[in-house]
Amino acid sequence: MALGERLPLPAPAHVSIVKEDADPYGSEWVRAGDDLDESKVVLYFHGGAYFFCSPATHRPITWRLSAAARRPVLALDYRQGPVHSLSESLADALDAYQGLLDQGYQPSDILLAGDSAGGHLTLATLLALRDRGLPLPSAAICLSPWADLSDSRRTVNRWVDPMLPASRVDWLARRWTAGLDCRDPLVSPVFGDYTGLPPLMVVTGSTEVLRDEGRRVALRARGAGVKVTYEEWHRMPHVFAILADVMPEARLVFRHIQRFLDAVAGSSAASPSQESSPVPAADSPGRQASLAGPGSDSAGRQASPAGPGSDSAAA
Candidate list 46, 58, 234, 238, residue with the active-site label: 238
Helix, strand and coil in the chain, % to nearest 5: 35, 15, 50
Look up residue 235 and give its amino acid.
Answer: R
Would you kindly state where each structural domain of the chain is located, as residue ranges? Answer: 2-289
Contact 140, 262 (CB under 8 A): no
Strand partners, 280: 288
The sheet that has 73-76: what strands, in order across it? 15-19, 28-32, 73-76, 41-45, 110-115, 139-143, 200-205, 228-233
How would you classify the pairing of strands 28-32 and 15-19? antiparallel
CATH class in words for 2-289: alpha beta
Is residue 238 part of the annotated active site? The answer reads yes
- Which is catalytic among the residues 28, 208, 231, 232? 208
170 backbone dihedrals φ, ψ, rounded to 5°: -60, -45
Q: Is 167 a catalytic residue?
A: no
The one catalytic residue among 116, 138, 144, 206? 116
- 208 catalytic? Reply is yes
CA–CA distance, 279 with 305 (Å, rounded to integer): 10
Return d(Cα 250, Cα 182) in angstroms, integer. 32
Global pTM value: 0.83
Give the integer Cα–Cα distance in Å for 80 and 93.
12
Per-residue pLDDT for the chain (315 aa), expressed as one digit of tens each? 344 444 567 788 899 999 987 776 679 999 999 999 999 999 999 999 888 899 999 999 999 999 999 999 999 999 998 889 999 999 999 999 999 999 999 999 999 999 999 999 999 999 999 999 999 999 999 999 999 998 665 555 554 656 666 656 666 777 777 788 888 999 999 999 999 999 999 999 999 989 999 999 999 999 999 999 999 999 999 999 999 999 999 999 999 999 999 999 987 444 444 433 444 433 333 333 345 432 333 332 233 443 333 333 343
Q: Cβ(125)–Cβ(112) under 8 Å?
A: yes
Burial of 264 (0-12, 13-18, 19+ CB in 10 A): buried
